[in-house]
Amino acid sequence: MAYLSFNNVRIAGFSTGVPKEILTNEVVSDQYSAESFITSTGVKNHRISEKYTAGDLCYEASERLIADLGWDKKEIDAIIFVSQHADYILPATACILQDRLGLSKECYTADLSLGCSGWVYGLSYAVSLLACGSIKKVLLMSGDAKRRIAYVDPLFGHAGAVTALEYCEGAPAIQFYFGTDGSGYDALIIPDGGARNQFTDKSFVPEDVDGHMLNRLQSRMNGMDVFSFGITMGPKSVKRLAEHFGFDYQDCDYYIFHQANLLMNEKIRTKLKLPEEKVPYCLQDFGNTASASIPLTIVSQLKGKVEQQKTKWIGCGFGVGLSWGAVYFETKDIVISQLVELE
């Protein structure tokens, strides 16, 4: 069973970078009216830029957070980079960011290819490295900023998030629950470009996919399958996490869910009987930002509210894979940097 618990690790801070340009969903497509789209998805605006990769956004957010924390770059021992769209097929983006940030050449670096559940998975990687005690400071970077071709999906946005973690003896346990159902791998998929279906001229030819003309290098989604999966595994993840580790999930201060869409997230919230004020959303302003969505929600919605006091959190991600993960953690005296907006 994929239950994990780690002691002696604390989250020190959060930062997020986004393109400054705001795209509004006033006109969505011939298939949907703007009003119905915004009502069902909750996405009024999103941020898209052709200039920046996820690596670029994470780099800028990292510089801001390192400065705000007052960390010595020489003491940062590891980078974990989580994205569906790495800067290159190879090398790993984490390797490039080690050099761009001017970190030690003895820095541990690794990429993780995940989307909606990626922040929770990446957090477990970072925490497990720190729990051994020899690595002292880690930057977890997560985000998505694929340079989309022709069709801009009004549901998704670009963002890069950074979570700073450090070894801290006596810090409360960080607890995880994970799961995977690979039989649903094609519910969210980019068909071409990998080793299974390599690039050909046909990869660029648009196809009709549920009313959208998409080529085979663009993501496509079986909406009903993903929706059913999300509203089932989101609540189950939280309940199984709490049951296994013996705490009442309703005692937490905030519940940060992957920002999939408003209808799905509200179904999850009501199934768990959580009050609205404990479940903040940022999708109305940024859209679905994949593995950046949980820290982006914290930065954009809770800065100035949670930094000093002890706060109990549950984070939950679910989606592409299909995969899911939930985490319980506590924070106190953390740094939340101002949102970094890139021109």
- Omega of the bond prior to 322 within 30 degrees of 0, cis? yes
Note whether 54 and 87 are within 8 A (CB).
Answer: yes
Q: In 49-133, which ranges are continuous DSSP H helix?
A: 54-69, 93-101, 118-131
* 333 has pLDDT over 70: yes
As a whole-number percent, the residues of the chain with pLDDT over 90 amount to 71
Question: Which residue is associated with the tokens 């799905």?
Answer: 264
**DSSP element (H, E) containing 194:** none
Mean per-residue pLDDT, 331-339: 98
Give the number of other CB atoms < 10 A from CB of residue 265: 21
Residue 197 has pLDDT above 90, yes or no: no
Tens of pLDDT, residues 21-80: 888 877 655 456 777 778 888 888 989 888 999 999 999 999 999 999 999 999 999 999
Which of 24-28, 37-41, 118-122, 211-215 is predicted least confidently? 24-28
Beta strands in the chain (DSSP E): 3-6, 9-19, 22-24, 45-47, 78-82, 108-112, 137-144, 159-167, 174-180, 188-189, 207-209, 212-214, 220-221, 254-257, 311-319, 323-331, 335-336, 340-342
> What is the set of domains in the chain, with CATH numbers?
1-343 (3.40.47.10)
At 174, phi and psi to the nearest 5?
Answer: -105, 125
- Residue 57 is predicted with a pLDDT of 98
pLDDT for position 173: 97
Mean pLDDT of 85-101: 96
Task: Report pLDDT for 217.
Answer: 79
| pLDDT of amino acid 283 | 95
What is d(CA 50, CA 45) in angstroms, rounded to the nearest whole number? 17
- 210 band by pLDDT with thresholds 50, 70 and 90: confident
Contact at 8 Å (CB) between 287 and 47?
Answer: yes
Higher pLDDT, 126 or 37: 126
List the end-to-end C-alpha distance of the chain, in Å, as a whole number: 45
Looking at the DSSP bridge assignments, the partners of residue 250 are none
pLDDT at residue 220, rounded to an integer: 79
